[in-house]
Amino acid sequence: MSNNPTSTPADAPAYIDQLLSRALKAGASDAHFEPVAKGMEVRLRIDGLLQTVEKLPEDLGRSAVLRLMVMGQLLTYRLDIPQEGRIRLPAITPGSSHDLDLRLAIMPVAHGLRAVIRLPAPNAPLHQNGGSTAAEGATSGLAPLGLPAQSRDALERFARADAGMLLVTGPAGSGKTTTIYALLEHIATTSPGLSIISLEDPIERLVTGITQIEVAPHGQMTYERAIKSILRQDPQVLMLGEIRDAATASLAIQAALSGHRLIATFHAGDPATAIQRLLEMGLEPYQITSSLFGVLAQRLVRRLAPAASAKTPALSTDMPKYKGRVPIAEFGEMSDAVRAAVLARADASALRNIFNRTPGHMTLRQIAETYVTSHITDKIEILRVLGE
């Protein structure tokens, strides 16, 4: 992509159309407009990392952000407050029949207005594993996610269950939303006739067969209020965008205990830490052991490009090439030993040791090591994502 601002169209509408088209073709998840001294840097997040694609002249950069605000129906005369909106556009990519639903966030900063566009999530899971951890000949609708076999099998069992809570953990950009949407679609496809409702902040993309509700944690439609109301509308499967506080966690547990399947994201590094956080939120151990189906901890690592995978560089001075990302995941099963430890209020370290002794259990790092051995990724990328 060119860094020469003279290569961009002179008018903002044409530039925005071109930029969105380029971003989609590149597989970007976000586009950033960052005002700097005497200009605007445009960056795309591709495979999880931001890349500067060009620097615009100050007038074009300012006009481009104002154009986005008009498209998002924001207040162009209020340049002193944060604003959020949505942009709906006809399909840009050839052969696609789906309109684009983009999220726009505007923030005043030192040199002007900063804009971030969240590009739409894919209409189908795009992460492909291709490694030895995926079962041969798998036909499940969850298989295209590329999750390790243990994690995929656990999600399939949850899809067949009639109650319980599944937590999906990981940092921002770790693929949690893609995994949850794929699971919901799998449940809707394999169990037609179920009432499936999601509460999201915001709705990432529309999913056929699911009733989706957008909540506003700081407005009237909070997670807590929405859950209480939704449980009176006979849902069988309920998805919460995130469990953020003790009140929401308590309601989620009660929903799972009363015969609902509940899926939620949660901030925790691994299954043991997730359970400890539930205890710290004031939930009773018996509530956790009676309702929690399991915890899926997930990360995304960049995949080695075909030419690089033949060399599989470790910690060398060569810069490896990557193309696309693949998930690594650890599933924490609620075994009898784990339940006993929870009832005894064991800490995260003790829970982690029990998970690690469970036959067939593999940690995120162990999964990552198999990906390095299988030439799917390399040690440099694993260190970047998981640390030392």
**How do residues 152-176 score in pLDDT, each as one tens digit?**
999 999 999 999 999 999 998 899 9
**pLDDT (tens digit, 9 = 90+) per residue, 264-315?**
999 999 999 999 999 999 999 999 999 999 999 999 999 999 865 555 444 4
Closest alpha carbon to 165 in 93, 61, 253, 250 = 253
- Torsion of Cα atoms, 359 then 363 then 366 then 367, to 10°: 100
Q: Is the pLDDT of residue 88 over 70?
A: yes
Which tokens go with 284?
A: 């009773």
**Mean pLDDT across the chain, nearest whole number?**
86
Q: Which part of the chain has CATH 3.40.50.300?
A: 143-386
- Listed in order, the ranges of the chain carrying CATH 3.30.450.90 are 5-118
Band of the pLDDT at 233, cuts 50, 70, 90? confident
Q: Which helix (H) or strand (E) holds 113?
A: strand 112-118
143-386: in CATH 3.40.50.300: yes
Are 288 and 341 within 8 A, CB to CB? no
pLDDT number for residue 3:
45
Tokens of 160: 């067949």
- Which pLDDT does position 72 carry in this prediction? 93
Fold of 5-118: Beta-Lactamase (3.30.450)
Residue 291 has a pLDDT of 96
**180 CB burial (10 A radius; 0-12, 13-18, 19+):** buried
pTM of this prediction? 0.81
Quick one: average pLDDT of 62-68?
95
Do strands 30-36 and 39-46 pair parallel, antiparallel, or not at all (unpaired)?
antiparallel
Residues 6+ apart with CB under 8 A from 317: none
pLDDT tens digits for range 89-147: 876 555 555 677 888 999 999 999 999 999 875 433 334 433 333 333 333 578 889 99
Average pLDDT over every residue of 200-227: 82
Residue-level pLDDT at 207: 83
